[in-house]
Amino acid sequence: MIRPKKAVLFALSLLLAPAAARAAEVNLYTTREPGLMRPLTERFTTQTGIQVNTVFVQGGLAERLAAEGSRSRADVAMVVDVGNLMELVDRNLTQPVESAALTAAIPAHLRDPQGRWFALSTRARAIYASRERIPEAEAAKLTYEDLADPRFKGRVCIRSGQHPYNTALFSILMIEHGEGWLRDYLTKLKGNLARRATGGDREVARDILAGICDVGLANTYYAGLMLSGRGGEEQKRWGEAVRVVLPANETAVNISGGAVTRHAPNRAEAVRFLEFLASPEAQTIYADGNFENPVRPNTPVNEIVAGFGPVTPRNVSLPEVAARRAAASRIVDEVGFDR
């Protein structure tokens, strides 16, 4: 029989036990597919005992966090585009973090000076060129600008111009050449399309193999995924059909990144999770698991990706790229790029 006083203490222990268990968790809202995050989250849990609860948000992450407000359970937000990351900051949906580990691991140009966002990997926007129909010497000299040249009339494949990977590229080109130039470029590029701007990056390689187009735009890590055979034998054939060209006049680089959310209920665990993602072990998983380029200096890229050549990023600031995204998106619509 439990005496009254002991019964009260017993009841309190039952109430407090779940709270203690909840402290050893971190809630991740991410636009990255859970399968890509799983090797990282599982390793973090193995190392720390902290459970990662992953919520996949395909679109509207900022809107969801804003709607949830102070009731949000999100601790960390992760996105795959600099514009989406800056949107979280601009809408006051993140909070500053001071971390010696993050500062030491991530170069200054790949993190916010106030600690409101951190890049965790970079992804290079490459040109895919047909091995069969584009001579190697010609492919090696290709630039993004060349894809609007009349010689590629009816020979270009690309996903939607409104996709973040493309609006980021178009923002970079606008920074370098101006808004009028970008409008003319997108008009000419649309005229060179072999098919409507749709599908994904892997479909660019698929359609090059099929002879629908000869060149296209896609990220390097998709080629890594295809060539590795992880997407199956069919996708491996897609990857083998293309040369991955890092443009002769430097490469447009985007990021995946993360931030601690404004109302994070598990702030300490959130910071610890970001620190893990910037660790040598996690950065190697980014490289070998996802074929991305690590942000931590001296972390080797996967050997398949290394075979594409060294990435020389275009000299533009990430916040400026994000700031131009709305203008680039507007021009995409004005020229009817996706129609």
Q: Which residues are annotated as a binding site?
A: 221-222
**Closest to 192 in 3D by CA, of 154, 158, 224:** 154
End-to-end CA distance of the chain, in Å? 76
Residue 259, phi-psi category: left (phi > 0), alpha (psi -120 to 50), beta (remainder): beta
> Strand ranges (DSSP E) for the chain?
25-30, 51-56, 76-79, 118-130, 156-157, 215-219, 242-245, 252-260, 293-294
Residue 318: partners with Cβ closer than 8 Å, 6 or more residues away: 82, 86, 109, 110, 119, 255
CB atoms within 10 A of CB 145: 16
Beta-carbon-side half-sphere exposure of residue 164 (alpha carbons within 13 Å): 20
The whole-angstrom separation of Cα 215 and Cα 196 is 14
Per DSSP, the residues of 130-185 read ETTTS-HHHHHT--TGGGGSGGGTT-EE---TTSHHHHHHHHHHHHHH-HHHHHHH
- Residues contributing to the annotated binding site for Fe cation: 221-222
Helix (H, G, I), strand (E, B) or coil at 220: helix
Task: Report d(CA 144, CA 174) in Å as an integer.
Answer: 12
DSSP state of 193: B
| Of 324, 294, 177, 312, nearest in space to 253 by CA | 312
CB 223 within 8 A of CB 205: yes
> Hunting for tokens 């590029």 — which residue is that?
189
Beta bridge partners of 245: 127
